[in-house]
Amino acid sequence: MNTKIGIIMGSQSDWETMRHTVKVLEQLGIDHEVKVVSAHRTPDLLFEYAENAHSRGLQVIIAGAGGAAHLPGMTAAKTRLPVIGVPVQSKALNGMDSLLSIAQMPGGIPVASMAIGKAGATNAALFAAAILAIEDAQVATALDQFRARQTAKVLADDDPRAG
């Protein structure tokens, strides 16, 4: 089976955030690949990755970056595959810079921006799964089961004093 989800991040330092994306995809049993690709440190690699993503069989790209986070936008500029951006929580501005860099794409080249940090990384995996689930019954079932487990856990632990 072809790998359908590509996860890229601007730096090794983004892994602490992006490992949450990988963790959810593993829970869902969805095959994926992970790579450090920097828009400003390895621009040629970014172009090559984005240009070849579709022909290699990828269907969704998840791109995590922090600070002047142009990785998701530049990736989206070079492929028509859906790109999901994860704003990594930067040290200087707590991720507001990352969020605005990713969310404020000018009209014409969209990037789906998630929340800052762990929540965004988690939701990026779930959003990518939801896209694949449109055509893939196995992914749809895995996603439904994930959500059902989450609901059951909240219902079972409904007294906050016990937590």
Q: Where are the alpha helices (DSSP H) in 57-117?
A: 71-77, 96-103
Sign of torsion, CA 103 98 30 144? negative
Nearer to ligand RP5, 14 or 99 (CB): 14
Q: Which residues of 90-100 are buried (b: 16+ CB within 10 A; e: fewer)?
A: beeeebebbbe
Nearest distance in Å: CB 45, ligand RP5: 13
Nearest distance in Å: CB 152, ligand RP5: 35
| Residue 121 in the binding site for ligand RP5 (CB under 6 A) | no
Number of residues that bind ligand RP5 (CB under 6 A): 9
User: 1: Cβ–Cβ under 8 A, 6 or more apart, which residues?
Assistant: 31
For residues 67 to 96, the per-residue mask of contacts with ligand RP5, x marking binding by CB under 6 A and - elsewhere, is x--------------------x--------
Which residues contact ligand RP5 by CB under 6 A? 10-11, 13-14, 38, 65-67, 88
